[in-house]
Amino acid sequence: MAGPWSAEWRRVDGRGTDRVLLETAFRGRRIRGELTGPPEEGSGRVRYEIALDAAWRTRRVRVERLGAGLSQPLRLRSDGAGSWLRDGSRAPELAGCTDVDLEASPSTNLLPIRRLALPVGGVAEVLAAWVRLPQLSVEPLRQRYTRLGPRSYRYESLGSGFTADLDVDEVGLVVRYPGFWERAPGAPPNP
């Protein structure tokens, strides 16, 4: 995978964006993004960076709410095998998590899609460290991915029963997240 790739999504209600840059980094990849949402939902602006190893396993995460008087950034570290640190302290509640999932961002669906490399018809369950916004809390979230076609996946949150059929591009970045996100015109990933 060469790159870098960039993408921008817009919320279908017109009240937010997510801009992301995916690039090759030393011994892996890095995702940098900025998410905006309606202030009354508490999301405002959030900046994030996710470091991945060569196998697309989440290794480091930094999430920061932007604005005056807001909380300290959230920092997560993973050994790639399911052990996590939160802000330098052990996080046993995240044991077994393989990916990070930022609430309200379509960018992190890329992580299990690339890491699992499912064949069409393939199904896999994952446990993700789910970062809730705006509070920056983190909890484990069981998820299932089913590859429906060459560029489509079904995402299921096994705890809530939420399901969405995602269209993705050749890299695995979401193009359409029905009811929530659409790729902005003129902002496709770089080929």
DSSP 37: -
Q: What is the model's pTM?
A: 0.91
Q: Give the type of residue at 145.
A: Y
Cβ pair 37, 43 in contact under 8 A: yes
Backbone region of residue 68 per phi and psi (left: phi > 0; alpha: psi in -120 to 50; beta: other values): beta
How far is residue 88's CA from residue 108's CA, in Å, rounded to a whole number?
22
Predicted local confidence at residue 71, as pLDDT: 67
- pLDDT tens, residue by residue, 112-123: 999 999 999 999
Secondary element (H or E) of residue 83: none
Exposed, middle or buried: residue 68 (CB in 10 Å: 0-12, 13-18, 19+)? exposed
* pLDDT classification of 27: cutoffs 50, 70, 90: confident
Predicted local confidence at residue 124, as pLDDT: 98
- pLDDT tens, residue by residue, 33-73: 999 987 666 667 899 999 999 999 999 999 998 875 666 79
